[in-house]
Amino acid sequence: MSSLMQSLGIDKLSAEEKIALVDEIYESIEQEVPPISDALRRELERRLEHLRSNPNDHSSWEDVQVRLGMKDPLLSDAQRKELDRRIKAYESNPRNVISRDDAKVKLGIS
Mean per-residue pLDDT, 62-77: 76
| Whether the Cβ atoms of residue 70 and residue 44 lie closer than 8 Å to each other | no
Per the prediction, the chain carries an average pLDDT of 81
Q: Which residues contact 69 (CB under 8 A, 6 or more apart)?
A: 100
Indicate whether 11 pLDDT > 60: yes
Mean pLDDT within 47-67? 84
Task: Give the Cα-Cα-Cα angle 73, 74, 75 (nearest 5 degrees).
Answer: 95
pLDDT at 70 over 90: no
Span of 5-9, 33-37, 38-42 with lowest mean pLDDT: 33-37
Which of 23-27, 28-32, 58-62, 92-96 has the lowest average pLDDT? 92-96
Q: What is the mean pLDDT of residues 91-103?
A: 67
Please determine, for residue 91, whether its predicted confidence score (pLDDT) is greater than 80: no
Angle at CA of residue 20, ends 3 and 28, nearest 5°: 85
pTM, to two decimals: 0.35
- What number is the average pLDDT over the span 53-66? 82
